[in-house]
Structure 1
Amino acid sequence: MATIRDVAKLAGVSVATVSRVLNKTGYVNQETKEKVQQAIKMLHYEPNTMAKGLASKKTETLALILPDIANPFFAELGRSVEDVAQTYGYTVVLCNSDNDADKEQKYIQIMKSRYVDGMLFASNTLRTADVVELNKSGIPLVVLDRAPANVPCLVVRSKNNEGAMLAVQHLLDTGCSKIGHLYGPQETATAKERLVGYEEAVRHFPWFSPSLMEPGHFSIRGGMEATERLLARHPDIDGIFAGNDLMALGALKKLRQMGVSVPGDVALVGFDGIDLTVMTEPEITTVAQPIYELGALATRLLIKRIEGTAIDNETYECDVSLVSRGTTGRA
């Protein structure tokens, strides 16, 4: 593999001159520039991006830190980030934190040492101190959905509260008279806002009780277990709003195992709009987020910041929409 010294030797110039041509810095006359470019072509020389980054502190690399790449929501989010980044000439490094704060801390330090140009976080464990440290280091960041409290951030998210109320209203409109809620980890703003939206929609009904809310941990297994507990306490429930689609998938599986007809006995709505919701029978009604657009918008905003555009720390909220399918399709 050719080195920058090989290029300099073939072109008959110094290493510093080759560096100026590569980095487009300083003056190099046209004849010399052409010699260097010809030598690069003949030797098939490819500059070392990392070494270049160490010198310029710019590597055209973004870090994307996700909590669980096995969740289809984050897989689609990652695809949109990568697609948009590539159109701007950036490479994305994917970091899967497994909802582990220590693992996330290691990723942050590694990415800083590798001079990534910016970071995107879709994280349950991002701390206020992390945001402050990254700001001090001059590393731009955008938070997807889950920003820490008490620190200004650029946030891109969906209207979680509004979506939850939309889900509950749909269940009411289909004739449900007692609706339970499977909720996610309350340390996340996402799960908390969806739970609050559910409460706001149902707390005025005489049948409402806090015991109608059951933790499902944003997972299929969690949704199964929560549904079983919920029906043991309230066998007369005829509607369930699951705070994400994975819990809805678990709820549907458990209801069918228990011999409960969906939607005949219990109607079901999820939240997110992942593709798996159309692979079940019946297909799952869901409140769909514009997942691809969320990732695309966050990436564009981050790159604008990296390239010097002044963007205020504010929250960009994307609309959600109800997708009615078989689990609420009562005649």
Structure 2
Amino acid sequence: MTDLATTAPQNRSRKNLTRQFERYALLLVWVLIIAAFSIAMPNSFFSWGNFSIMFASYAPAALLALAIIVPLTAGDYDLSVGATLTLSASTIGVLNVWHQMPILLVLLIVLAMGVVVGLIHSLFIIYFRVPSLVVTLGSTSLMSGIVQWMTNSSTIGGIDNSLIMAAVGYRLFGIPYAFYYAIAAALVMWYIFDYMPLGRRLLFVGRGREVARLNGISVDKVRVGALVMSAVLASAAGILYAGVLGSADPYSGLNFLLPAFAAAFLGATTIQPGRFNPWGAIVAVYFLATGITGLSMLGIPLWVTNVFNGGALILAVTISQITRGREASDIG
């Protein structure tokens, strides 16, 4: 009896230590990677200017990762966020540069376009019962074709300087405002996820739609809201991308999709293991950005970036599934 009374608290203590390590393991690995690259390249990598550029240039990817985790929490996938980003940035170029429309009006149009994209996805996914993977994959191809048509497959320069200044012209502690927009979005999302009924409804719907429905939650409305918010955040990422880049590129925005998805799943293994969470996603984005930036500065061939992102996605999904399965087992 005494042995059992002693062993139980020890097991609980060991389990708590393991959970605490899991919460911050990715942060620890991130610090170690920064240290390794800093030792290898002390004059180039380990500089405030390098980190400043990295924080700003990956801010659109951070917003995309946040966009992805909203429907993921509710049990749906949105593979179209990269295409939505590209469509938004290209629309800014076409309307502001070619048609000379005021930038504020253009930004409102772009955000409204995100709402429309989300509602179209909801129509097919929720009311016609088409799997979200199929719908958003199809809309990715559709939007990519529209972008190439509207831009004549060319990069559009000359975007209003006020947008560029708002993204990278103004700085706080030497870091462009673009980074802080992503942090602000994560802060708002964290508050909604953890402290508002809407966040709990999203989580309940993702864990079990039938159970959520029996508990009086309007499952379809929650899913519609998640898909619309995902598209709006992706449109906001397009605005930020246009500001950071200073132009509208009809192709390179899609390159954010894979690292954003990898970050969404990798983020579910840290801070709040077993849950898609905004702070985990932000940490994961910049963890991957650090790896890619460091490898690029070492002169590693370009194909290594694709290997790095693809491997990170597979590993992140695997670890996330293991963690989520263990969390569910503990709850059960």
Shorter-chain TM band: under 0.3
- Give TM-score, length-normalised by structure 1: 0.25
Greater gyration radius = 1
- Give TM-score, length-normalised by structure 2: 0.25
